[in-house]
Amino acid sequence: MRRAAVLGTGQTHHRTRRTDVSMAGLCREAIDRALADAGLGWEQIDAVVLGKAPDLFEGVMMPELFLASSIGAAGKPLLRVHTAGSVGGATAIVATSLVRAGVHRRVLAVAFEKQSESNAMWALSIQPPFSAPITAGAGGYFAPHIRSYIKRSGAPDHIGALVAVKDRRNGALNPYAHLRQPEITRESVQASTMLWDPVRYDETCPSSDGACAVVIGDQRAAESSVGQVAWIRATSMRTEPTFYAGKDHVNPRAGATAAAALWAAAGIKDPLDEVDVAELYVPFSWFEPMWLENVGFVGQGQGWKLVESGETALGGALPINPSGGVLCSNPIGASGLLRFAEAAMQVMGRAGEHQVAGASTALGHAYGGGSQFFSMWVVGRNPQ
């Protein structure tokens, strides 16, 4: 298999409403920054992969049709990817696969969401034919899984607040973050309104408009790059049904098997020791300890202990979401690609104030649907 690397990344300023730009303008903002970061022009891109969450999030069906020209795909191959909330990660993996297979030398991956133009809560509560009704949106759907985790692991009730404080303070170091709250405290989080027991207002993600873009190139493109690249050591995707007999919503099988395959492909034996920083898809603060266990950083029931120890903060043994993560910016279609891009930025040494010193190996992680779609990659400062 051919080597591939991230040549450049770009993202928008994420906000509740980006009324200053159209969907096309939002994508171009991220794309232009990614091309500038990679030191490339439009003519050097061979293909485009577009990621987008459910079309009802904006109320525009198949937006790739009218976006093709604006995102530089005219006259080039264009693919549309959709795997619910994990779509950003899946988009990067599809683009990587095109490069690794030798189909293209340089591929642009771009993902976006302009939630202000529709209503995600409504879009997540409709009942498609022949499916079980949810009617509660994402928070109402996932809150019972968090309660199950607390009961199973014995986690104290302040763990969610600790994660929220960490990520929001990290977000204050990120100029692109939607929520930047350097003064947030555990007490203020615990005093915020209860939305879906045990998830409080300050423990949940915002609704954001935003986009992210990544340029992925082959070995020759990487070696000719003027700046540090992020070598893609391994990628992994796994899927499972939304509901089935015996499904473990706290420790989804698809997530665990995707992570096991990822570590094996990257040659990583001890993820906690060998990975320097991780960007995990954490839309509700309690998902950090859950995913720490699911991807294999720690054993079952140990995730909350790693959080409580402070080792997932900047300066800890394994900083999680130094960018602020999904708790600070959540343009759903782009959120997974943001996790992948931020992981790459860390090993490229381009993360600015939220840079983890000496980071050479990083994890990007995304999940979507009813904890059923998982996408991950490991990137490194040096080729494997």
pLDDT score at 229: 98
What does the CA dihedral 83, 84, 85, 88 come to, rounded to 10 degrees? 40
* 8 A C-beta contact, residue 17 and residue 118: no
What CATH code would you report for 4-119+206-380? 3.40.47.10
Which pLDDT tens digit goes with each residue over 130-142? 776 666 678 888 9
User: From CA 65, how far away is CA 224, in angstroms rounded?
Assistant: 33
pLDDT score at 143: 95
- Cβ atoms within 10 A of the Cβ of 37, count? 21
pLDDT score at 133: 67
Nearest of 91, 1, 2 to residue 47 by alpha carbon:
91
User: From CA 84, how far away is CA 91, in angstroms rounded?
Assistant: 11
Radius of gyration of the chain (CA): 19
pLDDT at position 119 over 80: no
pTM: 0.96
Query: What are the backbone angles phi and psi of residue 231, rounded to the nearest 5°?
Result: -75, 130
pLDDT at position 50 over 80: yes
99-103, 113-117, 230-234: least confident range:
113-117
